């Protein structure tokens, strides 16, 4: 199974959800790999109404329809969730309705079997699903120790299955644009990119926290709120990663005056390249503080850094502030380092 990063997965998911006749899509990956966030972002890009459903909490009869007698006749009555989806679809015939079934691999096999009726036949409790309804699912894998028993083969065969993984660039770009997360945390991820692989390498079988994209978001929101207690960070990331992040935050707080760097970019001190924690903290701080007026100074200073740090700095800066792409300083750097950011022609011309 091919694994895609959110940067590649989200636009692909948007395209898949526009296809008629629709086919259900299932995202598969380790815990905390941003599967839910990918679906939420795709729904926002589609301007869709999103419903979130948890099959783990359902019995097969919930999806098949509750038997009831109405006016002397036996009928299948859909539960309120199904009625809400159908009503939203009828009230908004020109708007996509995305129904997201989370943790489907944890659902009972009988419940999964009942789900086949609307995945394949597009029928809820004997009622036809409106054409503008789309189905998306997500699940962990058996090896993730998440209580997944698997997905029935006939159901799997009715799905387009896509693997999900997270890379530092995608996560940092998201963290810098989502709002509410401090720049220190994406800078830490660039410093320790292997931390995003912890869900794949986790061997804990007790109730122990571990680092993931989801856990890093939580830790970042605590840091933004001024809560940096080791116990709290360790409660999100585990002891080892919390120690790394704590040390990184100390480095961040001891960085040179950013305003002085912008004032004298050609002569301001440059840290030694072998001090990777200082370098990543510095470029993260520069990216967070640069403006359209100081972009030229950033270009001057960044040109004195090793290229990998230049790329990280410029990439994070323009992710947070797209208006920087229109400045002469940004264009000068881009022309000198053509292709290093991986920006498409449309972005380059903005």
Q: Convert the pLDDT of each residue in 84-109 to its tens digit.
A: 888 999 999 999 999 999 999 999 99
Q: What SS3 class is residue 139?
A: strand
The pair of structure tokens assigned to 273 is: 């390249």
Give residues with Cβ within 8 angstroms of 347, minimum separation 6.
325
**Highest mean pLDDT: which range of 119-128, 140-149, 215-224:** 215-224
> What pLDDT score does 125 carry?
67
- Domain residue ranges of the chain, discontinuous segments joined by +: 3-164, 168-348
Q: What is the pTM of this model?
A: 0.80
**pLDDT > 70 fraction of the chain, expressed in percent and rounded:** 91
Mean pLDDT over each residue of the chain, to the nearest integer:
88
What mean pLDDT do residues 23-38 have? 92
How many Å apart are CA 76 and CA 230, to the nearest integer?
54
Q: What is the pLDDT of residues 247-260, one digit of tens each?
A: 999 999 889 889 99
DSSP designation for 157:
T
In 3D, which of 339, 259, 333, 276 has the Cα closest to residue 299?
333
In 3D, which of 71, 32, 345 has the Cα closest to residue 214?
32
> What pLDDT score does 202 carry?
66
**Does the pLDDT at position 246 exceed 90?**
yes
CA 78 to chain centre: 33
The beta strands (E) that lie in 34-155 are given as: 49-53, 66-70, 73-77, 97-101, 123-124, 127-128, 133-139
> What pLDDT score does 230 carry?
96
In 3D, which of 106, 90, 114, 98 has the Cα closest to residue 54?
106
DSSP designation for 28:
E
Q: Which residues pair with 292 in a beta bridge?
A: none
> What pLDDT score does 333 carry?
92
Tell the residue number behind the tokens 């006016």, with chain if given.
71
Q: What is the pLDDT of residues 65-79, one digit of tens each?
A: 666 556 666 555 567
Domain 3-164: homologous superfamily in CATH: P-loop containing nucleotide triphosphate hydrolases (3.40.50.300)
Q: What SS3 class is residue 224?
A: helix
> What pLDDT score does 349 carry?
38
């Amino acid at each position: 199974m091919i694994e895609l990063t959110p940067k590649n997965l989200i636009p692909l998911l948007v395209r898949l959800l526009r296809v008629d006749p629709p086919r259900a899509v299932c995202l598969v990956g380790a815990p905390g790999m941003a599967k839910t966030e990918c679906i939420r972002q795709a729904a926002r890009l589609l301007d869709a109404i999103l419903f979130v459903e948890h099959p783990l909490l359902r019995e097969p009869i919930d999806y098949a329809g509750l038997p009831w007698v109405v006016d002397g006749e036996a009928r299948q009555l859909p539960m309120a969730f199904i009625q809400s989806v159908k009503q939203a679809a009828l009230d908004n015939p020109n708007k996509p309705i995305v129904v997201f079934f989370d943790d489907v691999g944890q659902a009972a096999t009988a419940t999964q079997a009942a789900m086949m009726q609307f995945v394949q036949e597009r029928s809820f409790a004997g009622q036809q699903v409106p054409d503008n309804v789309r189905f998306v699912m997500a699940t962990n894998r058996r090896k993730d120790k998440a209580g997944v028993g698997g997905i029935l083969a006939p159901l799997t065969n009715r799905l387009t299955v896509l693997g999900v993984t997270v890379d530092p660039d995608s996560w940092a770009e998201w963290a810098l644009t989502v709002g509410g997360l401090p720049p220190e945390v994406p800078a830490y991820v660039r410093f320790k990119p292997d931390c995003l692989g912890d869900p794949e390498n986790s061997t804990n079988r007790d109730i122990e926290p571990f680092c993931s994209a989801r856990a890093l978001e939580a830790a970042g929101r605590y840091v933004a709120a001024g809560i940096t207690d080791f116990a709290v960070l360790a409660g999100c990331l585990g002891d080892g990663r919390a120690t790394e992040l704590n040390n990184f935050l100390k480095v961040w707080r001891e960085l040179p005056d950013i305003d002085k760097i912008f004032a004298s970019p050609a002569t301001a001190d440059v840290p030694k390249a072998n001090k990777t924690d200082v370098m990543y903290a510095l470029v993260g701080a520069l990216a967070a503080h640069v403006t359209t007026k100081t972009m030229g100074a950033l270009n001057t200073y960044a040109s004195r850094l090793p290229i990998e740090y230049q790329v990280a700095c410029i990439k994070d800066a323009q992710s947070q502030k797209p208006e920087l792409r229109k400045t002469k300083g940004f264009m000068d750097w881009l022309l000198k380092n053509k292709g290093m950011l991986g920006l498409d022609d449309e972005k380059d011309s903005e």
